[in-house]
């Protein structure tokens, strides 16, 4: 299914701009994280720039350390489109950010995990009770920790959550300042290989770990052709990456500052290939929002449907 189908469903909002020339958009500003391997690969190839050139649109890549910061950039108008995990949009919507979900990558539960040092006496998630656990607040791993603890009859308050961005969390983890770390790839693959970190629990059987493409609402309304071109190129680059993961890892590794075998391992745990949002995926995102509200992590209940691109069908499915 092409993304043009998604925009046809969102008739009042997204097809109002019948041509690119009706919009003043001349630069597509993409928010990305260096850990987002496909976008890093796409950026290095220059393929998107070539695809958008006939439309008179250039590309500006804006790097962020993690999803919450990227959403802040989207909200203040620093970027037009961003790619993040499941949790950041929930926190951002609760804070009043104006964006719409425009697509998602398939579930990748193995690409995030709770890890402990190789010589840690901790053998199970249940043994994390009372322990210090590092994580990036508001990221996809926040939900993983909540659900993994829940499966053991524990609550988030039963552990000492230490909120740190990936680089600081890695340092704290390696010097023994925290007992465990909840992290995503490629940081996960790096700490496994470089320090022998032991996997306590990944997302399998616990969370889906979808990733989402988001857009500033006004941009989505005015620039459907630009978004279509972005996703056409993203799909092409995903096919190329999956067709030769080793070669892709060799390209991505120096850009991420990692060894090729670390990147290769992380790539095998992600599923690439952007898709239009479905009612089932929207409903799963609503479950995360409801969980965070019940835990008091967000101050007010939200409706994910309010951040969908105007389709009544998807909106009702996400209630």
How does pLDDT run across 195-233, given as a tens digit for each residue?
999 999 999 999 999 999 999 999 999 999 999 999 999
- In the prediction, which pLDDT does 312 show? 36
pLDDT in tens, 49-75: 999 999 999 999 999 988 888 999 998
Q: Which fold has domain 3-108+210-317?
A: D-Maltodextrin-Binding Protein; domain 2 (3.40.190)
Matching fold, domains 3-108+210-317 and 109-202? yes
Contact assessment for residue 214 and residue 81, using Cβ atoms and an 8 Å cutoff: yes
Q: Which fold has domain 109-202?
A: D-Maltodextrin-Binding Protein; domain 2 (3.40.190)
* Domain spans, the chain: 3-108+210-317, 109-202
On the 0-12 / 13-18 / 19+ scale of CB atoms within 10 A, 281 is: buried
Q: What is the pTM (predicted TM-score) of this model? A: 0.82
pLDDT tier, 7 (very low <50, low <70, confident <90, very high otherwise): very low
Beta-ladder partners of 120: none
Q: Which two tokens stand for residue 168?
A: 């600081």
Three-state DSSP at 109 gives helix
Beta-ladder partners of 85: 211
């Amino acid at each position: 299914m092409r993304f043009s189908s998604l925009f046809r469903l969102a008739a009042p909002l997204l097809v109002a701009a019948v041509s690119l020339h009706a919009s003043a958009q001349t630069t597509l500003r993409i928010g990305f994280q260096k850990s987002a391997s496909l976008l890093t690969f796409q950026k290095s190839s220059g393929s998107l720039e070539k695809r958008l050139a006939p439309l008179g649109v250039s590309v500006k890549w804006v790097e962020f350390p993690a999803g919450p910061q990227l959403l802040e950039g989207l909200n203040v108008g620093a970027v037009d489109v961003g790619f993040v995990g499941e949790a950041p949009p929930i926190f951002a919507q609760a804070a009043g950010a104006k964006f719409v979900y425009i697509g998602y990558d398939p579930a990748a539960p193995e690409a995030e995990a709770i890890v402990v040092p190789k010589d840690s006496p901790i053998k199970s998630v249940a043994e994390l009770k009372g322990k210090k656990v590092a994580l990036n607040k508001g990221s996809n791993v926040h939900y993983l920790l909540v659900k993994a603890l829940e499966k053991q009859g524990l609550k988030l308050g039963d552990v000492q959550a230490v909120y740190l961005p990936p680089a600081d969390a890695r340092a704290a983890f390696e010097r023994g300042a925290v007992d465990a770390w909840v992290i995503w790839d490629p940081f996960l693959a790096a700490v496994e290989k470089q320090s022998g970190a032991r996997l306590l629990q990944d997302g399998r059987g616990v969370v889906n770990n979808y990733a989402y493409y988001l857009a500033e609402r006004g941009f989505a309304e005015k620039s459907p052709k630009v978004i279509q071109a972005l996703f056409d190129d993203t799909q092409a680059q995903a096919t190329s990456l999956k067709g030769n993961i080793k070669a892709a890892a060799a390209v991505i590794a120096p850009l991420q500052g990692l060894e090729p075998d670390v990147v290769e391992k992380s790539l095998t745990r992600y599923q690439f290939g952007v898709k239009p949002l479905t009612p089932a995926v929207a409903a799963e995102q609503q479950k995360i929002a409801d969980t965070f509200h019940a835990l008091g992590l967000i101050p007010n209940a939200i409706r994910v449907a309010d951040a969908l691109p105007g389709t009544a069908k998807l909106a009702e499915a996400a209630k």
